[in-house]
């Protein structure tokens, strides 16, 4: 039997206190989440809207759910009334839809801008130029029901630790640029979500404030 909460505690003990550990429960059964919940764990992350909806419906309502996956516009409605942080805002269209649904739900929803930091492949996420354009645009000023509280990124899946370090370091520098240019007075703009099971130690050394850890807590996914 996997001792979920033990795993959470042992990671928490090994990281600085001001870095938040976000357990990623995607694909894992509700019973595993409940086991950790009963020991006191309240934050979990999922990457599929329908899976999150089903787990939210079935599990205790004081769980703080983070969304970390690619979000389709037609699925925002399934998570908008309760999601506490959306890490994966990777395009304007989804930001507008989150804003629209949040408004209909009388909420202001916290979001992170997902950056493309991997040196190879994958086109998901903003470049720093695109993000600067977004934040300077009039359209962005109209989005009163989303609050951008930081940035998120995923490093390349590689054994090359120096490459991973460079990629995380670039995300930190994007955060700093956006902070200085667009959020100098906003205390809420403070999160750098980077680091997973295989690379969170490097991420923390490069300035992560939030690590998203799945397999090292819940076991490998099939
Ligand atoms: C699955 C996932 C994680 C966790 O991955 P592990 O390697 O299992 O820790 C973190 N972030 C995102 C965006 C994910 O999809």
- Which residue, judged by its Cα, is nearest atom 13 of ligand 1? 68
Laid out side by side, the sheet with 43-46 consists of: 20-23, 210-213, 191-193, 146-153, 109-115, 85-89, 64-67, 43-46
Neighbouring CB atoms inside 10 A of 181's CB total: 12
Distance between CA atoms of 147 and 141, rounded to whole angstroms? Answer: 11
Ligand 1 pocket test, pick from 21, 122, 214 with the greatest ligand atom count within 8 Å of Cβ, gives: 214
> What local confidence, expressed as pLDDT, does residue 123 receive?
72
Q: Residue 185 Cα, ligand 1 centroid: separation in angstroms?
A: 31
3-state secondary structure of 106: coil
**What is the structure's pLDDT at 198?**
97
The residue ranking higher by pLDDT, 58 or 222, is 58
Residue 222's pLDDT band (cuts 50, 70, 90): confident
Mutate to test the pocket of ligand 1, among 11, 47, 201 (most ligand atoms within 8 A of CB): 47
Quick one: which atom of ligand 1 is closest to the CA of 215? 8
Give per-residue pLDDT as tens, 150-208.
999 999 999 999 999 999 999 999 999 999 999 999 999 999 999 999 999 999 999 99
Cβ within 8 Å of residue 160, ≥6 positions away? none
Q: Tell me the DSSP string of 115-152.
A: E---SSS---SB-HHHHHHHHHSHHHHT-TTEEEEEEE
Average pLDDT, the chain: 96
Q: Name the token pair of 21.
A: 């550990």
Residue 120, pLDDT > 90, answer no
Let me know: does 80 contact 106? Beta carbons within 8 Å. no
Residue having the nearest C-alpha atom to atom 12 of ligand 1: 68
Nearest atom, ligand 1, residue 213 CA: 9
């Amino acid at each position: 039997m996997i001792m979920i909460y033990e795993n959470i505690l042992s990671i928490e003990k090994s990281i600085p206190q001001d870095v938040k550990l976000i357990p990623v429960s995607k694909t894992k059964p509700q019973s595993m989440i409940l086991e950790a919940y009963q020991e006191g764990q309240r934050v979990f992350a999922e990457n599929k809207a329908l899976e999150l909806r089903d787990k939210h419906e079935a599990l205790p309502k004081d769980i703080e759910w983070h969304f970390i996956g690619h979000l389709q516009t037609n699925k925002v409605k399934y998570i908008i009334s309760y999601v506490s942080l959306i890490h994966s805002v990777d395009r304007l269209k989804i930001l507008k839809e989150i804003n629209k649904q949040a408004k209909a739900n009388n909420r202001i929803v916290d979001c992170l801008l997902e950056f493309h930091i991997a040196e190879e492949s994958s086109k998901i996420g903003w470049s720093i130029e695109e993000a600067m354009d977004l934040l300077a645009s009039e359209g962005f000023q109209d989005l009163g029901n989303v609050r951008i509280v930081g940035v998120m990124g995923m490093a390349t899946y590689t054994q090359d630790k120096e490459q991973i370090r460079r990629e995380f370091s670039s995300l930190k520098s994007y955060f700093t640029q956006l902070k200085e240019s667009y959020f100098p007075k906003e205390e809420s703009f403070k999160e750098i979500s980077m680091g997973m099971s295989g690379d969170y130690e490097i991420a923390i050394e490069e300035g992560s404030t939030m690590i998203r850890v799945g397999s090292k807590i819940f076991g490998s996914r099939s």
